[in-house]
Amino acid sequence: MRTVGVEEELLLVDPESGEPQALSAAVLARAAQDAADQDVFEKELHNQMVEFATHPQSRMDELHTEIVRCRKEAARHAEESGCAVAALATSPLPVSPSVGVGRRYWWMAEQYGMATQEQLVMGCHVHVSVESDDEAVAVVDRIQPWLTVLAALSANSPFWQGKDSGYSSYRSQVWQRWPSAGPTEPFRSAERYHRRVADMVATGAVLDEGMIYFDARLSRNYPTVEIRVSDVCLHADTAVLLATLARGLVETAAREWRAEREPVTHSVSLLRLAAWQAARSGLSQELLHPATMHRVPAETVVRALLDHVEDALGEAGDLDRARESCAGLLRHGDGARVQRALLERTGSLREVVTECVRRTQT
């Protein structure tokens, strides 16, 4: 069975005011003192965020346990440093982000200017194991139309600088400011994929392969396909659902490749429109159907994704849980809907952050 790992970026906030706090160095120093967490937590672009990475897991219940554990450990280290962690993909409250220390981050700040300064956004990246680069590229080519559904399921960033952005996932709009971000046309072979990456690096517009921010890419450190379209999810259950569906997509795509079935291809222009629609409405309105690119209710698109990966999920023992989780999200709403409901009930973005801090660990 393919293994899955998850990387989550968390926002550091003041537990009382809800305002972002530039305390990542202190949090990471605390984590470094704990032998169990030394290879789990990492610094990120801005000082108001911290990232953790789970170990690869083959069972989703074990992945859920590890995500919850890592979130609780992050909360403990944050509390010891005078702040709290929130699984929010953007800060609801106004913030002036500060870029972290290091040659890489300084290069980005110089190269990309304001786009770097404004990139205080928190995502969820899912790594799914593959057998070879050839299989990985075949997977990347075949999963492109379905990635927008994962983006809609994870939508958790409606607020930006103290205002409602009008989007369910404003993080994704900010993320698209990177010149290498977004969907890709079919590569057809590992050779062509690596040639494209090398050509992009050779332009000097990106520093290295790590700055190739395709929606799905080959990891440069692990034998995995890395799917990068999702907001960090408010609840751990939703992160596990994303991992479950991602593994289902990878396994389904690999089987199609082995059966010599051609990928369903859409132009990058259409894929970008589908991604925009997912960011705009999340699960609250219509989405573009991955097969037809026609507007249909979000529930129809989610059902289509479950049908597409049904065999892979069933064989892994994940189908019933995935269906239940999707039904719950459609019924109760994505993270963006939860945040907006909290604001409507409390009238305070500070209260929104406070409640999301609590939910991050549940």
pLDDT of 37 higher than 90:
no
Q: Which residues of 117-131 are buried (b: 16+ CB within 10 A; e: fewer)?
A: bbbbbbbbbbbbbbe
Q: Is 13 left (phi over 0), alpha (psi -120 to 50) or beta?
A: beta
Q: Is 297 helix (H, G, I), strand (E, B) or coil?
A: strand
Residue 335 CA: distances (Å) to CA of 57, 166, 203, 281, 287: 25, 14, 38, 12, 17
In which band, very low, low, confident or very high, does the pLDDT at 41 lie, cut at 50, 70 and 90? very high
Q: Whole domain around residue 208: which residue ranges?
A: 4-360
As for how many domains the chain has, the answer is: 1
**Which CATH number characterizes residue 290's domain?**
3.30.590.20
Structure tokens at 27: 């949090």
How high is the pLDDT of residue 191?
A: 98
Q: What is the pLDDT of residue 101?
A: 86
**CB atoms inside a 10 Å sphere around CB 76:** 17
Percentages of the chain per state (helix, strand, coil), in multiples of 5 = 50, 15, 35
Interval 280-292 mean pLDDT: 97
Q: How many residues make up the chain in this entry?
A: 362
Angle between helices 236-258 and 298-308 in degrees, nearest 10: 50
User: Would you say residue 277 has pLDDT above 80?
Assistant: yes
| Residue 362, pLDDT score | 82
* pLDDT at position 35: 64
Predicted pLDDT at 299: 97
pLDDT of 34 over the 90 cut: no
Mean pLDDT of 192-210: 97
- Answer yes or no: is pLDDT of 39 > 90: no
User: What is the full DSSP assignment across 236-273?
Assistant: HHHHHHHHHHHHHHHHHHHHHHHTTPPPP---HHHHHH
The percentage of residues in the chain with a pLDDT greater than 70, rounded to a whole number, is: 99
User: Does the pLDDT of residue 129 top 90, yes or no?
Assistant: yes
**Cβ-Cβ contacts under 8 Å for 57 (sequence gap 6 or more):** 3, 4, 5, 63, 66
What percent of the chain is modeled with pLDDT above 90? 95
Contact predicate 3/56, CB 8 Å = yes
Question: What's the pLDDT at 235?
Answer: 97
Beta strands in 54-177 (DSSP E): 84-86, 123-129, 159-160, 163-164
Q: What is the pLDDT of residues 311-352, one digit of tens each?
A: 999 999 999 999 999 999 999 999 999 999 999 999 999 999
pLDDT at 139 over 70: yes
First-last CA distance in the chain = 28
Phi, psi of 278 (to 5 degrees): -65, -40
Task: List, for residues 71-114, the tens digit of each pLDDT value.
Answer: 999 999 999 999 999 999 999 999 999 999 899 999 999 999 99
Over the chain, what is the mean pLDDT? 96
